Amino acid sequence: MKLDVSAGLGGSSAAFLNLETSSFDEMVTSLERDVMPNAAVAALNRVAAVGRLQVQEEMELRLDRVTPFAKRGVIYERANKDRLSATVMISGRSWAAKNATPPANFLTPQFFGGQRNLKSFERQLQSAGYLKSGEYAVPGRETPLDQYGNVRVALIVRILADLRVTPRTEGYNRKRSEASTKRNRNYRFARFFVADRNSHLHPGIWQRDPRDNSIKAIFLFVRMRPYEKRIDFFGVVKGVAEKRFGQFMAEEIGKRMKR
């Protein structure tokens, strides 16, 4: 019986824990043959659970102000008696707002390097013709951020409203209405605007203060640069498997042999 840990085809964003059982029948008694499959399933699932927690701990250590949402993006798929394989992976779906950015979009570059995918509001800016292909929108120096270093959704909603970006039912989609314009005197002014590409301002989204007409950069449009690999996702899970599987397997067999 041998545990094989692989990254999958094409270096996919998952670590597969596969139990090889070709010599299984030659090594065990009939009693053990009844016990071993259940013990193996339990041991595999314990390895996957610990592997997931270990990856999350690495995120805390190596990423700046990682959010609970990002940590929940690391999940695992359980093994069963018909499939002696567990998988630790990055989720490709979101549990936040409808059509919000899936964890795989922003975690994959941190774990494996390369370009990150556009965020929801960046896709909207690109569709509206503001953001060029090959650009990201990054917060300006004076942009208010939340405790995790992210721009608050409410601010992005206000920006998209002022820019009159057509909602695309993905992520941020609230329009500025006539009623809200009347309620908020500041809406009479162009609070947020995109700098002309030929102006002296850096390309991006700027905010104008209606009190003194001063401006500041809220988002700057910059060329995409590849991310460097910051966490050895596969190595972390493999290390847990090599260190703990034998221990977990022995414990699970012991539990069942005593029954």
User: What SS3 state is found at 20?
Assistant: strand
Residue 213: predicted pLDDT? 86
Flag whether pLDDT at 36 surpasses 60. Answer: yes
Backbone angles phi, psi at 85, to 5 degrees: -150, 125
Flag whether pLDDT at 95 surpasses 90. Answer: no
Distance of alpha carbon 171 from alpha carbon 173, whole angstroms: 6
Q: Give DSSP secondary structure letters for 57-114.
A: HHHHHHSTT--HHHHHTEEEEPPBTTB-EEEEEE-SS-SSSTTPPPHHHHHHHHHH-B
Residue 171: predicted pLDDT? 47
As a whole number of angstroms, the longest Cα–Cα distance in the chain is 85
Handedness of CA 211, 212, 218, 222 (dihedral sign): positive
Mean pLDDT over 148-177 rounds to: 74
Handedness of CA 245, 251, 252, 253 (dihedral sign): positive
Handedness of CA 44, 46, 49, 54 (dihedral sign): negative
pLDDT band at 103 (very low <50, low <70, confident <90, very high): confident
Residue 173: predicted pLDDT? 45
Give percent of the chain with pLDDT exceeding 70. 79
What residue segments make up the domains of the chain, in order of their start? Answer: 2-97+228-257, 118-223
pTM above 0.75, yes or no: no
Return mean pLDDT, the chain.
Answer: 83
Q: What b/e sequence results for 177-186 when a residue is b if at least 16 CB atoms lie within 10 Å of its CB, and e otherwise?
A: eeeeeeeeee
| Sequence-distant contacts of 25-32: CB under 8 A, at least 24 apart | 27/1, 31/257, 32/253
User: Is the separation of the CB atoms in 168 and 155 below 8 Å?
Assistant: no
Q: What is the DSSP letter of 165?
A: P
Beta bridge partners of 17: 5, 86
Mean pLDDT over 203-209 rounds to: 94
> Strand runs (DSSP E) across the chain, as ranges?
2-6, 14-20, 74-77, 85-90, 135-139, 192-194, 204-208, 215-223
- The encoded tokens of residue 164 equal 């009159």
Q: Mind listing the pLDDT tens digit for each residue in 163-201? A: 988 655 444 444 444 554 455 554 445 589 999 999 999
User: What SS3 state is found at 222?
Assistant: strand
